């Protein structure tokens, strides 16, 4: 099938009717623009000027320029000639458009190609994408960040009010678990809390887990703090406020942590403006109070001290340092040396810590340094030897692919300080790697299927004709995914790989029968094709029907967790159904066209001249005289 080099569309019948755009028209035309395929709109309705048509099309979200609109099919040929294309032109709708294409000197793309291009491109553009299908597992997780310095009593009162709000807004909650403080989150987690909610089984509730979570987002709030809600199975890891657990994760890379926090705040504000993105959070948002020791290097040098010597003395006095091991009865006990608690409890006590100089003299820390109260990072994350601040967010009511593309487009417009960069990570990177790997798997599947058929048929062309059913299987799969609201994910892509090996079965049965009757038994071409189509119709339909019916329970997605396998079953059902219907017409038609072409080529070749034997020729000449 030759790819069309240009497209002509009937404006009133294909792009829109009345004042509304037809479904898929804007996506199809956007795809043509991305592929740099020229297209034109033709209409015989001259009540409006081309400029008015262009304005109306742009209002409907359809890309159009004034030179692309022709208000008469008779003038379309002149516009088409200016394209200077080397290949066929696809006509979509309109009876008079074919004549205009032919008059411009172009060949027409086949109608089958037109249907495949229009339907396949439009349905593919309408599909959402994600890494793994969303599964309704009946669990919701909420994390709460309280203001710094919130007491445990105040946190407990707030959590009790949140529990009451959960019970009132979500009667589907069967079990509610609350964790808070340092015991749940480790050092620096005193102002955090989490709520883990388990819902009743899916068959006993009318709302999905995502709908229950959406209702909780509207009622759960903490004065001066933040509340985030997740529904995914791995969401409990978010309570560590780290990366790698949310669908959306933006990495801010740069050395200066303070400037990085300002950039992260801008990224979080941007994420909150993206439709479908929820609960944007900075991974290292919480900062711990600390005492910074600022050493006066000149004074320290005059006394023979260095910053490293002072730091080592402070580490020993405040944090402690292992001095030796005490062994008794086979037991080893580590001996840690440090100041008593009353000698290091207050800031003034720290300034009084003695520092031993190189000459053995003791100097108080306050003589060479000062203490400054500040807020410091509780942790510093690195990736690729660069400091990283991660901004995470969840998704609700939107597929990951479209949200990621919009976020990437917004990130590309952000102005950043020197030395800083921002990029999507985690699930986006995993999705790109998975898509590349599955694309290679699909190509290998197609090549292996073709190789096996070429060996079995001992021919190269007939297996190629059989493989013509694969593109129509992809169109059917895309249509089924779009009709059922299923995203393009790992499971549905695996279904496409399965299709590459399954859809050719019917074509193999049909082609084998045609070759047997036509070439081996000498039946005329048309009779062999008609007999094969009628004789193999029942086996082909039975094979397809049994496969489709076996996949229906998985495609319906009944029961908890069944959504994980539904995309694979739906893609196989859609692709197998459409490819079977097309195969019954396409394979015989292609074979007849190829055989007729072969016959015409044989007819054009000169007949071989008969060989003449020299001895027989002389004997024939001398026979009359005998």
Residue 318 has pLDDT above 80, yes or no: yes
Residue 505: per-residue pLDDT: 85
pLDDT in tens, 11-48: 666 566 555 555 566 667 776 777 777 777 777 666 67
245 or 249, which is more confident: 249
Mean pLDDT value of segment 102-116: 58
Residue 603 has pLDDT above 90, yes or no: no
Helix H or strand E encompassing 252: strand 248-253
How many angstroms separate the first and last alpha carbons of the chain?
Answer: 68
Res. 625 pLDDT band, cuts 50 70 90: very low
Residue 188: per-residue pLDDT: 47
CB 287 within 8 A of CB 149: no
The mean predicted confidence, pLDDT, of the chain is 77
Identify the three-state secondary structure at position 190: coil
Least confident of 44-58, 365-379, 409-423: 44-58
Residue 504: per-residue pLDDT: 87
Mean pLDDT value of segment 430-458: 87
Mean pLDDT value of segment 402-427: 84
Distance CA 273, CA 444 (A): 42
Residue 573: per-residue pLDDT: 93
Q: Which domains does the chain have, with CATH numbers?
A: 6-126 (3.40.50.1000), 139-288+387-421 (3.30.70.1430), 289-377 (3.30.2090.10), 430-604 (1.20.1640.10)
CA-atom Rg of the chain in angstroms: 37
Alpha helices in 274-389 (DSSP H): 297-302, 307-314, 347-351
Res. 58 pLDDT band, cuts 50 70 90: confident
CB 23 within 8 A of CB 123: no
Distance CA 438, CA 492 (A): 10
Res. 241 pLDDT band, cuts 50 70 90: very low
Mean pLDDT value of segment 164-185: 78
Residue 328 has pLDDT above 70, yes or no: yes
- Most confident option among 98-112, 113-127, 379-393, 576-590: 576-590
240 or 467, which is more confident: 467
- Give the other-Cβ count within 10 Å of 468's Cβ: 19
Least confident of 6-10, 75-79, 227-231, 237-241: 237-241
Q: What percent of the chain has pLDDT over 70?
A: 78
Residue 537 has pLDDT above 60, yes or no: yes
- Whose tokens are 């402070």? That residue is 314
pLDDT in tens, 545-574: 998 999 998 888 776 667 778 889 999 999
**DSSP at 488:** B
pLDDT in tens, 365-376: 888 888 888 776
Helix H or strand E encompassing 229: strand 226-230
pLDDT in tens, 90-104: 666 655 666 777 777
Least confident of 34-38, 138-142, 254-258, 571-575: 34-38
608 or 545, which is more confident: 545
If we measure between CA atoms, which residue out of 297, 328, 293, 286 comes closest to residue 313? Answer: 293
Distance CA 162, CA 611 (A): 102
Residue 561: per-residue pLDDT: 67
| Cα dist from 417 to 262, 283, 389, 425, 442, whole Å | 10, 20, 15, 20, 43
């Amino acid at each position: 099938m030759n790819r069309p080099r240009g497209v002509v569309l009937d404006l009133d019948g294909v792009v829109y009717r009345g004042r509304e755009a037809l479904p898929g028209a804007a996506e199809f035309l956007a795809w043509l623009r991305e592929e740099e395929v020229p297209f034109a709109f033709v209409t015989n309705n001259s009540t409006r000027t081309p400029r008015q048509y262009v304005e109306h099309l742009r209002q409907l979200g359809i890309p159009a320029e004034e030179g692309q609109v022709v208000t008469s099919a008779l003038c379309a040929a002149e516009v088409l000639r200016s394209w200077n294309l080397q290949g066929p032109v696809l006509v979509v709708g309109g009876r008079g458009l074919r004549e205009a294409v032919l008059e411009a000197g172009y060949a027409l793309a086949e109608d089958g190609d037109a249907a495949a291009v229009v339907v396949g491109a439009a349905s593919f553009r309408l599909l959402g994408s994600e890494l793994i299908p969303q599964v309704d597992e009946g669990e919701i997780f909420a994390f709460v960040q309280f203001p710094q310095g919130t007491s445990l009593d105040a946190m407990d009162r707030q959590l009790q009010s949140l529990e009451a709000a959960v019970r009132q807004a979500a009667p589907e909650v069967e079990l509610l678990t609350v964790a808070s403080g340092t015991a749940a989150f480790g050092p620096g987690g005193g102002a955090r809390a989490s709520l883990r909610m388990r819902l009743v089984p899916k068959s006993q509730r009318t709302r999905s887990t995502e709908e229950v979570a959406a209702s909780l987002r509207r009622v759960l709030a903490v004065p001066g703090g933040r509340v985030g809600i997740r529904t995914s199975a791995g969401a409990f890891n978010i309570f560590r406020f780290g990366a790698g657990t949310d669908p959306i994760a933006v990495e801010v890379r740069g050395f200066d942590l303070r400037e990085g926090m300002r950039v992260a705040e801008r990224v979080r504000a941007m994420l909150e403006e993206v439709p479908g993105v929820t609960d944007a959070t900075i991974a290292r948002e919480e900062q711990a109070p600390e005492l910074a020791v600022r050493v006066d290097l000149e004074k320290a040098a005059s006394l023979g001290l260095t910053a490293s010597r002072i730091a080592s003395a402070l580490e020993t006095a405040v944090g402690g340092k292992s001095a030796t091991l005490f062994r008794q009865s086979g037991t080893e006990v580590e001996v840690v040396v440090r100041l008593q608690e009353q000698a290091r409890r207050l800031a003034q006590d720290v300034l009084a810590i003695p520092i031993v100089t190189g000459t053995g003299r003791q100097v108080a820390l306050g003589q060479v340094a000062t203490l400054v109260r500040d807020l410091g990072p509780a942790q510093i994350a690195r990736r690729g030897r660069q400091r990283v601040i991660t901004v995470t967010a969840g998704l609700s009511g939107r597929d990951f692919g479209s949200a990621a593309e919009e976020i990437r487009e917004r990130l590309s417009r952000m102005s950043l300080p020197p030395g800083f960069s921002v990029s999507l990570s985690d699930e986006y990177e995993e999705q790109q790697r998975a898509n590349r790997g599955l694309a290679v798997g699909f190509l290998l599947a197609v090549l292996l299927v073709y190789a096996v058929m070429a060996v079995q048929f001992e021919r190269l062309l007939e297996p190629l004709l059989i493989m013509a059913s694969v593109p129509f299987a992809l169109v059917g799969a895309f249509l089924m995914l779009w009709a059922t609201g299923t995203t393009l994910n790992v499971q549905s892509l695996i279904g496409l790989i399965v299709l590459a090996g399954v859809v050719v079965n019917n074509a193999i049965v049909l082609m084998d029968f045609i070759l047997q009757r036509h070439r081996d038994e000498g039946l005329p071409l048309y009779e062999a094709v008609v007999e094969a189509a009628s004789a193999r119709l029942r086996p082909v339909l039975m094979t397809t029907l049994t496969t489709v019916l076996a996949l229906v329970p998985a495609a319906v997605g009944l029961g908890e967790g069944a959504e994980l396998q539904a995309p694979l079953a739906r893609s196989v059902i859609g692709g197998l159904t459409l490819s079977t219907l097309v195969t019954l017409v396409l394979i015989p038609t292609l074979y007849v066209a190829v055989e007729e072409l072969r016959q015409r080529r044989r007819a054009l070749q000169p007949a071989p001249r008969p060989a003449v034997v020299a001895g027989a020729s002389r004997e024939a000449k001398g026979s009359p005289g005998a």
